[in-house]
Amino acid sequence: MAQAATEKIIEVKDLTAGYGDSMTFDAISFDVKKGEVFVILGGSGCGKSTLLKQMIGLYQPWSGEILIGGQDMVKAEGKGRLEVLNRIGVMYQSGALFGSMNLLQNVMLPLEEFTHLAETARRSVAALKLMLVGLQGFENHMPSEISGGMQKRAAIARAMALDPKILFLDEPSAGLDPVTSAELDQLILKLSRGLGITFVVVTHELDSIYTIADRVIMLDKKTKKIIAEGDPKFLKDHCENENVRNFFNRRVSKDEL
Amino acid sequence: MSKDRSTSKTSELKLEVVEKKEGSLSLRLAGSFTAKTAGAIWQEIETLRQDQKPRELVLDVAALTYLDMTGVAFLRDLKQFQESSKNVFKLNGLRPEYQNLLDLATRRSSPQGAPKIAAKVSFIESLGRSVVKTGEGIYEQIVFVGSVISQIFYAAFHPKSVRWQDVWIFIEKGGANAAPLIIMAGFLIGVIMAFQSALPLKQMGSDVFVANVVAFAVLRELGPLITAIILAGRTGSAIAAEIGTMKINEEINALTTMGLEPVRFLVVSRMMGILFLAPLLTVLSDFFGMLGGMIVFKSFGYSATTYINQITSTVDLGDVLGGIFKSIPFAIAIGAIGCLRGLQTKTGASAVGESTTSSVVTGMVMIIILDGVISAIYYALGI
């Protein structure tokens, strides 16, 4: 276990990226270790979601390397790329469920395409994934017929369809009620501890960060660098950077606003 | 290369039938049970279970190195099937961390087996439903066209209420950018008409009348019709897609809650634009249609002057204006249907596609119906 914990599953090396002429990241580097829950933090507009999209290969970086399980995401093409992609699951901020399919079909789609499971087995697996996120009984609903929070949970279920080794979640708990949000945190921990799934999460919810995060990085809009890295409970009081402490202690300084 | 590796991975999961006798079945699984590896073996065990119907099913999983949620789903299903038929299921050697996951999977009482599929609707019921739906659709269209026309009249008397900026943008996108296509289509129609009519006319030695045929057909019928069809396919569909996308992004709701009437805000500017465009584009199409005819006519050895003389002797201003006037009802139909289909868009990305298709189909049908009605009226009036 100790050995597994130190094994790097994602390595980002000197990543420089941006949109058009404006740079978002200036040569940032970090690692995600196998089995940990890794949280990307930062103020609005600092490029958290962009970083996530760089890591899953949706955007091309200007320079730098992104290695997922040792394979270069940036240069991967064809079969190699598919292999990397099958190892990861992504939940998008808005859910991105396929509107023409019901929830069960949404979750079953990757199973249909990438496994040899029989129809009943696929149904059963998909139904279990939906149950895990608390959506049992909604299998035949269309995405448009359920609430935003439920769409989010269904999107997590779909991201988990192939039991990927790495799950990327873009703001999973935003828009969920506190109970569901806490349940989701527990689910993340269970999957992480039980199955050894690595999580890369973009989130703002402090409660959630303290519960799930093994390690965080915090991005800064001005310097375009990582300004803090480590255990959130430690950073909260001991980080040298005041902005970082402010972020973690927001609840305390709320009165001043 | 990678293919070989993946097949070797698949063989990592192994099933061993330890004991198979009347009423009891003992199995042993070894390797890694994941979504990728499970396919065949899940099926195999399922078949075994159904054939044997064992009173007691023992599954030894001590040798499993890895189990993902697919594996958990498999164990849960096996357990539930056995227990629901009052049989025994024994699971030996499951590691505690996997036991936790299995508990998590069985904790909530989920409906047995695969979720049920929505009930089938009988033919008569679906027929009735579609009749009601069609009726509602027609009613909605009539109400909508009425409200659009009233809004246009309101706008005509209150020009300040119109967002002219939007109108000009629309005219540029739907008109100026459509001009090359209309010119090309109009020109080719003229050429085609000239060639087609030349064949029978030449047999009678009267190919000089090609000019009359082209002018008559293009000005009265083909010019406005081609323009309307291009507008329906290009502009009507664009309107439906744009408004439909706004609808699914809740932009229409945002307009409503801001106190802006969507019909006035979105529809009137587009209707004004298309009403302005259609006659202009029809003139363009008419002109290039006749030009196309003239080029063919000249190739028969006649002069351009003969062509123009022939035309002016047969066609009068009524024919020209009658053709141009036709484009106005066409424009109302295309614009209103585009807007209506856009606003009727349901949720989801596929809904935008449906609205766009429907706007083109309904637009074409309406153009043909209107053309028929107008032709009958012109005939009765002697225009």
- pLDDT truncated to tens, each residue of chain B (383 aa)? 333 333 344 447 888 888 888 778 888 888 888 888 888 888 888 888 888 788 888 888 888 888 888 888 888 888 888 888 888 888 888 888 788 888 878 776 544 444 555 667 788 999 999 999 889 888 888 888 888 888 888 888 888 878 888 899 899 988 888 999 999 999 999 999 999 999 899 898 888 899 999 999 999 999 999 999 999 999 999 999 999 998 888 788 888 777 777 877 888 889 989 999 999 999 999 999 999 999 999 999 899 999 999 999 988 898 999 999 999 999 999 999 999 999 888 877 788 999 999 999 999 999 999 999 999 999 998 87
Measure the N-to-C terminal CA separation of chain A; round to a whole number of Å: 45
On whether the CB atoms of residues A57 and A76 are closer than 8 A, the answer is yes
Residue B122: inside a domain, yes or no? no
- Say whether B101 and A131 touch across the interface (CB within 8 A): no
Give dist(CA B190, CA B289) in Å, integer.
4
Whether residue B157 is found in the same domain as residue B229: yes
Mean pLDDT of A75-99: 82
Tokens of B326: 């036709």
Residue B69: inside a domain, yes or no? yes
Mutate to test the interface with B, among A117, A186, A191, A192 (most CBs of B within 10 A): A117
Mutate to test the interface with B, among A71, A109, A131 (most CBs of B within 10 A): A131
Whether residue B231 is found in the same domain as residue B266: yes
State percent of chain A over pLDDT 70.
95
> A58 to chain B nearest CA, in Å?
20
Residue B298: inside a domain, yes or no? yes
Number of domains in chain B: 2
Whether residue B142 is found in the same domain as residue B103: no
Whether residue B248 is found in the same domain as residue B198: yes
String of b and e for B9-31 (b: at least 16 CB within 10 Å)?
A: ebeebebeeeeeeeebbbbbbbb
Predicted pLDDT of residue B327: 95
For tokens 């005509």, the residue is B156
DSSP SS3 for B91: strand
For tokens 């779909």, the residue is A158
Enclosing domain of residue B149 = 131-381
Judged by a CB distance cut-off of 8 A, whether residue A140 touches chain B is yes
- Read off φ and ψ for residue A160, nearest 5 degrees: -85, 0
Give dist(CA A61, CA A144) in Å, integer.
34
On whether the CB atoms of residues A40 and A202 are closer than 8 A, the answer is yes
Residue B327: inside a domain, yes or no? yes
Q: Write the CATH number for B93.
A: 3.30.750.24
- Lowest-confidence pick of A2-16, A228-242, B3-17, B136-150: B3-17
Beta bridge partners of A40: A202, A217
Measured between beta carbons, the chain A residues lying within 8 angstroms of B64 are none
Task: Note whether ipTM > 0.85 here.
Answer: no
Does pLDDT of A77 surpass 80? Answer: no
pLDDT band at residue A257 under the 50/70/90 scheme: very low
Of the candidates A80, A120, A194, the beta carbon closest to that of B101 is on A194
- Say whether B97 and A193 touch across the interface (CB within 8 A): yes
B370: closest CA among B317, B334, B321, B319? B334
Does pLDDT of A2 surpass 70? Answer: no
> B96 to chain A nearest CA, in Å?
9
CB atoms within 10 A of CB B154: 13
Residue B118: inside a domain, yes or no? no
* All domains in chain A, ordered by first residue: 2-256 (3.40.50.300)
Segment A18-70, tens digit of pLDDT: 887 788 888 888 889 888 999 998 877 788 888 888 888 888 888 888 888 88
CA B24 from chain center: how many Å? 56
User: pTM value?
Assistant: 0.67
Q: What's the angle, vertex CA B52, arms to CA B48 and CA B56, rounded to 5?
A: 100
Residue B126: inside a domain, yes or no? no
Largest CA distance in chain B: 103
Residue B4: inside a domain, yes or no? no
Measured between beta carbons, the chain A residues lying within 8 angstroms of B102 are none
- Say whether A190 and B100 touch across the interface (CB within 8 A): yes
Whether residue B159 is found in the same domain as residue B69: no
Whether residue B224 is found in the same domain as residue B352: yes
Residue B329: inside a domain, yes or no? yes
**Bridge pairing between strands A8-19 and A22-33:** antiparallel
Whether residue B320 is found in the same domain as residue B353: yes
